[in-house]
Chains A and B, each alone.
Chain A
Amino acid sequence: MTSTRTKLEVNDYFLYYGDFKALDSISVEMPERAITAIIGPSGCGKSTFLRSFNRMNELILGVRTEGAVKMESQDIFSIDVVELRRRVGMVFQKPNPFPKSIYDNVAYGPRAHGIRDRAQLDEIVEKSLRRAALWNEVKDDLHKSGLALSGGQQQRLCIARALAVEPEIILMDEPASALDPIATLKIEELMQELKEDYTIVIVTHNMQQAARASDYTAFFMMHDDRSGYLNEFGPTKKIFTAPENKETEDYITGRFG
């Protein structure tokens, strides 16, 4: 853990899908340049919570929120959403490269933000692909379709695509759940390198992955009478060795969920 400066801060945050309360009074602070894992049973609101940081939930009709989400103490709702999403990148559960060439996939973001210079784009594409540990595998066919890559490569392409717009935070929603164990390990290694420069928040279904790859863990829970809430948050080591909550312990030892 290189730093303990707070990057993301959530305060008494609620999210409703129409009448359905999906997140119930979440308060948490996530440190900069560290990996925070979000774990918890299916449907407890992990994805919903993750998508709050880049305001992707706004795309869904009928979503309403209460409370504060701050990035470096600035209310994210006061930041222009286009700028916010440049600063807060996202990698999705299912690799979703555009049906374009590898080059155009990575150059997409910079172009959307107005970079036209070919030499500059070339440089960004190479740098991002190197950073995503994909350059050596694709440098000779940058003009091949991104969809022609393997699942693991596609996911790293999506990471490169996110890095190309120089984000500060990378959100990952079960980025390895569709990948084989070797590709999964590659993504985890990559995360360790990326946390030197980026703040990473990752949703994962996989306890070992959270234990192995993260610095902090947020355990989400829900009950019949209470929807998604934060049950426990702390350094991963502590959560996995000496959790304060009985429920946390039950969950990580696989007694339910």
Chain B
Amino acid sequence: MVDKAEIMMDTVAQTSIQELRSNIARRHLIQKLAFGTLWAAALAAVGMLLAITFYVIFNGFQVINWEFLTTPPAGGLGGEGGISTTIVATIYLVGITTTIATPLGIGAAIYLAEYASEIRGARGVMKTVVNVVRFGVETLNGVPSIVFGLFGFALFVTTLQFGFSLLSAGLAGACLVLPVIIRASEEALYAVPRGLREGSLALGATKWQTTWKVVLPAAAPGIITGVILSVGRIISETAVFYVTLGGSLRMPTGLMSGGRSMALHVFYLATETRAFDKSMGTGAILIITIVLINLTINILSRRLSARLSGG
């Protein structure tokens, strides 16, 4: 038995050493080729993104000045004026959507992550409902935004007669970002260690106290990341607001005002005026805003890992 095994190991060892010798140059070559290809792909991808960003920012900066930011657009084919009203409309939109979507989204995520999984006896109806909700959230995340726009147009603009307004746009925008907030919050809640929940319950805290005082604070950076992500989504969204907000250049004065968000303004300037440079200028400001948002998210997630590991 022992002898046989030893002989077998010997033969195996010999052939593999021989193979190694004849292979070695080829393996190095393949390694180099693979590495080179990956490197080229990475370079091309990053290069393309940088090119777009710098092109927009470089061209855009030539029109950006204080006056551009503070005067309202004049309209017309020349695209005269600045972008003040579109900045205000964008801020309004972000405010309305996050006010609506944040509590709803976090609430839904808490339910899905903390309570739904525990439904006892979980037979039939309730479990199906939960699964359908979860599947719905996944699906909505991938639905093209214009579909949310059409839904918003049909329900808020026409049926509920809110017209082209910040209210219609804010509600449609909230629908758009709800899945984003739910997903991010759910993930953040799942990332909270089970030991924390047990530690709290074992002290006689109720399930709700545990959720509110331990789980939510631990998950907060992740949840906030989701909210900020959705702010970025609203700032860069065009299709939904094209069919719910209209395109008014006037300064919005309330929920029922129509308006034009910055991203929408980029679209209108590029397609309906000769002011391509101003379209670039607005685009540059959008890019910078999004970069700032992403930086915030990076800092937050670093703080999350620090908090969960004792920093």
Contacts and interface: CB of A to CB of B under 8 A. Distances in A.
Interface of A: 54, 56, 59, 61, 82-86, 89-90, 92, 94, 96-100, 108-109, 111-113, 145-149, 158, 161-162, 165
B200 A162 contact: no
A165 B196 contact: no
Contacts of A109: 203-205
B204 A112 contact: yes
13 contacts: A56-B201, A61-B118, A96-B193, A97-B199, A98-B218, A99-B218, A108-B214, A109-B203, A145-B307, A147-B310, A148-B310, A161-B199, A162-B202
B213 interface: yes
B202 A112 contact: no
Contacts of B204: 82-86, 109, 112-113, 165
A122 to B, nearest CB: 19
Interface in B191-220: 193, 195-196, 198-206, 209, 213-214, 217-218
Interface in B98-151: 118, 120, 122
B33 interface: no
Contacts of A98: 196, 199-200, 214, 218
B308 interface: yes
Contacts of B203: 85-86, 89, 108-109, 112, 161-162, 165
Contact of B308 (A94, A99, A149, A161): A99
Interface string B294-311: 000000000000011111
Q: Which one of B195, B202, B310 has the greatest number of beta carbons of chain A within 10 Å?
A: B202
Nearest to B218: A99
Nearest to B118: A61
A84 B196 CA distance: 19
A162 B204 CA distance: 10
Nearest to B197: A59
Contacts of B218: 98-99
A99 B310 CA distance: 7
A112 B196 CA distance: 15
B205 A145 contact: no
A92 B118 CA distance: 22
B195 A92 contact: yes
A54 B198 CA distance: 11
Contacts of B307: 99, 145, 147
Contacts of B198: 56, 59, 90, 92, 96
Contact of B217 (A61, A94, A99, A149): A99
Contact of A61 (B122, B193, B195, B205): B122
Contacts of B214: 98, 108
B271 to A, nearest CB: 50
Contacts of A82: 204-206
Contacts of B206: 82, 112
B207 to A, nearest CB: 9
Nearest to B203: A109
Contacts of B195: 92, 94, 96
A98 B218 CA distance: 9
B115 to A, nearest CB: 13
Contacts of A161: 199, 203
Contact of A89 (B122, B202, B309, B310): B202
A109 B200 CA distance: 8
Contacts of A113: 204
Contact of B309 (A59, A96, A112, A147): A147
Residue of B198, B201, B206 ringed by the most chain A CB atoms within 10 A:
B201
A42 to B, nearest CB: 19
A194 B248 CA distance: 73
Nearest to B207: A59
A56 B309 contact: no
Contacts of A158: 199
Contacts of B308: 99, 147
B202 A54 contact: yes
A61 B206 CA distance: 18
A111 B203 CA distance: 11
A145 B118 contact: no
Contact of A92 (B199, B205, B209, B217): B199
A97 B198 CA distance: 11
A193 to B, nearest CB: 21
Nearest to B193: A96
A147 B195 CA distance: 13
Given A98-B196, A108-B213, A59 B310 contact: no
Given A92-B199, A96-B196, A99-B307, A112 B205 contact: yes
Interface in B224-279: none
Contacts of B120: 61
Contacts of B310: 99, 145-149
